[in-house]
Chain A
Amino acid sequence: MTATARRRRRAATPRAGVPLPLLVPAGLAVAFLAIPLLGLLGRTPWGSIGAELASPRVAEALRLSLVCSLGAVAVSVVLGVPLAFLLARVEFPGRNLVRALTTLPMVFPPVVGGVALLLAFGRRGLVGQWLDRAFGITLPFTTAGAILAEAFVAMPFLVITCEAGLRAMDRRYEDAAATLGAGRWTTLRRVTLPLVAPSLGAGIALSWARALGEFGATITFAGNLPGVTQTMPLAVYIALETDLEAAIALSLILLAVSLAVLVALRDRWFPSASA
């Protein structure tokens, strides 16, 4: 009964299958997401965009945003991929707790994350005071601190996406490699990683986008100094308070970067996202 129903539904053309009551809210959703973009484009000072782009303040913020977000992605990959592997493949006590802990920064308000980072890695923090005393390293107000703040909020996206990919993967390939004599490390490198590459790619793109847009944790933990910790979102926020046109121009640049990522990754991203 359910099987025939399912078959009948699949046989129907998609358009006929859309219940009318869904069209109105769906249309509202599109409008809701699109109108702010139109607002931004409508108020853009197209004439002065070139000058804005060329200003050292923008160039500096853009460069810093790239450095910090890519740094955060690097940290996330180096630490997050092994964690995803552990979560997906190894039964250990407290695994659910670790997974919950991993996802916590996704639901944390970023400002709270910034405060938590201060209390942990600040000069008087749990770990920070020790870092300061032993090595003279202080993270707040440094570019490394900004990278740390961005990695804190971005890494969960990579871990979750990567873990999902590992779970969905057909493990018979790994078994085959093992029966053919490949060791665990070789299997991981030559079979597992290539197979989860689409998920890894999607995870990298997601976490990079999240890092690029990070604001709350960065300004709270790393402060705001042009060239050191003032990334694009911070520059937009500060500019908004004095120079609306500059803020719009900066926002447009961020929008263009985000669009470029979407376009560049659409083939890689959407198939894996629907998988």
Chain B
Amino acid sequence: MLRPRIRLAAVLAVAALVLAACGGGDDDSGGSSGAASAGELKVFAAASLTAAFTRIGEQYAAANGGDKVTFNFAGSQALATQIQQGAPADVFAPADIANMDKVKDLVGTPRNFAGNLLAIVVEKGNPKGVRTLDDLASPDLKVVLAAEEVPAGRYAEQILDKAGVSVRPVSQEDNVKAVVTKVSLGEADAGIVYVTDVTAGGDKVEGVDIPEDQNVTATYPIATVKASKGQEGASAFMDLVLSAEGQQVLREHGFLPPPTT
């Protein structure tokens, strides 16, 4: 009575393993080439591009017979590491040139497609009355920045250095969206993020402009990934981002044309 049951369990377990192994094999070999050419494009993009690229992804799908774009939005530094470790990306769009340089042997020729300014993000109504970068130095203010490894964190550091303001942040978040979240939850009083994140942050936050002479312009490059099995789709997506249509979407979300220098 007992023995057949054990044998059955063992057979089932082995069968499950074999099936799992086959499934894995499919994903590795047949899967990515087959599925990718069938249009499942994987785009690794900076967290700040979330809203704009999601919209462009819809346009891409509409123009390519419903071919889906899957996005991996995260801190650019995390995405660069993932690509270095062989993650299956087709297109890479970080928020700075440094992270594109990090993977320059693994990608095609990058092209700059957008620019972005930074702003101070505060809670709706600006209850703490933050007006300038100098205000961020106040010890009464809980300031959250992106970590130095994150492009937005490095840009913020450049801005504060240039203004000669020393800020002691209470936290260094892993990506720029987490900074906005901490402010919209009311846990932090202020943060430095992209202008576009303030727009995307909805009605819980508002922005305080950083004057042009104190600001820096973030540059967003885009490139196809050499290891991608879906080169055609990758190039098509890149072209769409650079096209008038893609640029229009980026403008609507508050991005600037790429800096020409």
Q: A21-B6, A123-B187, A141-B142 are in contact. Are A224 and B171 (CB under 8 A)?
A: yes
B177, CB-defined interface residue at 8 Å:
no
Bound-state Cα–Cα, A21 to B7, Å = 7
**Given A141-B171, A224-B172, A240-B81: A124 in contact with B149 (beta carbons within 8 A):** no
Mostly, the A contact residues are loop
Whole-angstrom distance between the Cβ of A227 and the nearest chain B Cβ: 11
Are B187 and A242 neighbours in the complex by a CB distance under 8 Å?
Answer: no
User: Is the pair A25, B10 in contact by a Cβ cutoff of 8 Å?
Assistant: yes
What is the count of residue pairs linking A and B with beta-carbon distances less than 8 angstroms? 73
> Within the complex, which residue of A118, A123, A244 is in contact with B81, where a contact is CB–CB below 8 Å?
A244
- Return the CB mask of B74-87 against A: 1 if under 8 Å, else 0: 01011011001000
Query: Are the C-beta atoms of A19 and B172 separated by less than 8 Å?
Result: no
Q: Check A224 against B174 for contact (C-beta < 8 Å).
A: yes
- Asked if B187 and A141 sit within 8 Å, CB to CB, the answer is yes
Compute how far the CA of A118 lies from the CA of B186 in the bound complex, rounded to whole angstroms. 10
Nearest Cβ on chain B to A1's Cβ, whole angstroms: 12
Flag whether A156 is at the interface (Cβ < 8 A). Answer: no
Interface size on B, residues (CB 8 A): 29
Query: Which A residues are in CB contact (< 8 Å) with B77?
Result: 241-242
Residue pair A241, B149 in contact (C-beta under 8 Å): yes
A: contact size bracket:
20 to 34
Contact A238 B10 (CB under 8 A): no
Q: Which residues of B77-126 are within 8 A (CB) of A? A: 77-78, 80-81, 84
The proximity string for A residues 213-248 relative to B, scoring 1 for CB distances below 8 Å and 0 otherwise, is 000000100111110111000000110111010000
Q: Is A22 an interface residue (CB 8 A)?
A: yes
Query: Do A223 and B81 touch (CB < 8 A)?
Result: no
Cross-chain contact of A223 among B6, B13, B78, B170 (Cβ < 8 A): B170
Does residue B62 face the partner (Cβ distance < 8 Å to A)? no
Shortest 5 CB-CB contacts between residues of A and residues of B:
A223-B171, A21-B10, A141-B170, A124-B186, A241-B77
Binding site for B on A (CB under 8 A): 19, 21-22, 24-25, 28, 118, 122-124, 138, 140-141, 219, 222-226, 228-230, 237-238, 240-242, 244
